[in-house]
Amino acid sequence: MRTPAWLLGSVLLLAGCATGDHTMRQHTTLQEGIDALMRDYDGQAPGASVLVLRDGQALVQRSYGLADFESNIAANPDSNYRLASVSKQFTAAAILLLAQDGRLRLDDPARRWLPELPAAADAVTIRQLLTHTAGLIDYEDVMDPASEVQVHDADVLRLLSSQDRTYFAPGSDYRYSNSGYALLALIVERASGQRYATFLHDRIFTPLGMTGTVAYESGISEVARRTYGYSFEHGRWKRTDQSSTSAVLGDGGIYSSIADLAKWDAALYDERLLRSEWLARAFTPATATDDPDVRYGYGWRITGETLWHSGETIGFRNVIVRYPQRHLTVVVLTNRDDPEPYGLARQIAALAMTR
């Protein structure tokens, strides 16, 4: 006996409703779990923004607390945070774009592009700058500690040009290096003929529709919907948004939002920016690090099935954790100097995996 069409349609409709209700309950449960984890960021205090992506869809895109404490402006998914070292993946992508274009080679000596570097850097290559294996002196160790003037990427090159030494023979060891990524930004400029910030705008941010993202330069550009950084000192929140190193772009000067980072994450699954063989280089373990569980690619830490990077600077603590095989990504951006949110992002990811 055939099932009447009207009855079959009713059954399918009920099944669809049941599936939709189940999906909604899962989403609600996930949101409630994340809200509980983020409770300390909510309310009248510097806050955070959280993004959970699965299969290209935002399961959660939510903000907590204040982006601007003094003006009582709430954080929202379009609030732009200073990414700190999460910026390094964009600097690495810029180098890979230029290599893909044939404008440079990863094994080029750094001094080919930056002849101001001292003789001790003769053996340093672009690839070693990307993987923190160049052994370059940390520019923060040779800055004038009494100066309140902000240094820029060009100042990093000037500081290093006076240091005819390295921590170790280039390529022989690993030492995390902000100096290396500041130099990479300068190499982007010299190989492309554009300012670093302009190259990122033209080749990455605009093509991906990341309209709020900027490599911020005081007096040149502005940060739309800007989030300010804070520290909790002597029982109150104090704005600690800038330091003497905050104007260095290549190692940490990009501002972005969870809304824009969703677009960035999507581009890491296809070839709209980089062909697959170049993307694979960024995500391939290139060197061991000082953590036995972590290896480093180009602008990415690699731990088991995850690709991730944290960013810590005065007033901001951020992290992006990607699980490419699961098509799952968690981003946590915060505008306070403590705590570091990597463990929190892993907890959020664990919640998402069970929903």
Q: How far apart are CA 240 and CA 236, in angstroms?
A: 12
Other residues' Cβ atoms within 10 Å of the Cβ of residue 234: 5
Cβ 271 vs Cβ 73: under 8 Å: no
Beta bridge mates, 66: 46, 74
Q: Position of tokens 């070839």?
A: 271
Q: How far apart are CA 191 and CA 114, in angstroms?
A: 10
Q: How many helices (H) and strands (E) does the chain have?
A: 12, 15
Q: How far apart are CA 297 and CA 285, in angstroms?
A: 5
Does a cis peptide bond (omega within 30 degrees of 0) precede residue 339?
Answer: yes
Q: How far apart are CA 315 and CA 242, in angstroms?
A: 8
Catalytic residue chosen out of the listed positions 49, 63, 79, 85: 85
Burial class of residue 124 (count of CB atoms within 10 Å of its CB; 0-12, 13-18, 19+): buried
Q: How far apart are CA 351 and CA 335, in angstroms?
A: 23
For the question of residue 85 being annotated catalytic, the response is yes
Cβ 142 vs Cβ 96: under 8 Å: no
SS3 310: strand
As a whole number of Å, the CA-based R_g of the chain is: 22
49 Cβ contact list (under 8 Å, min separation 6): 62, 63, 64, 75, 76, 77, 79, 81, 257, 258, 331, 332, 333
Catalytic residue positions, numbered: 85
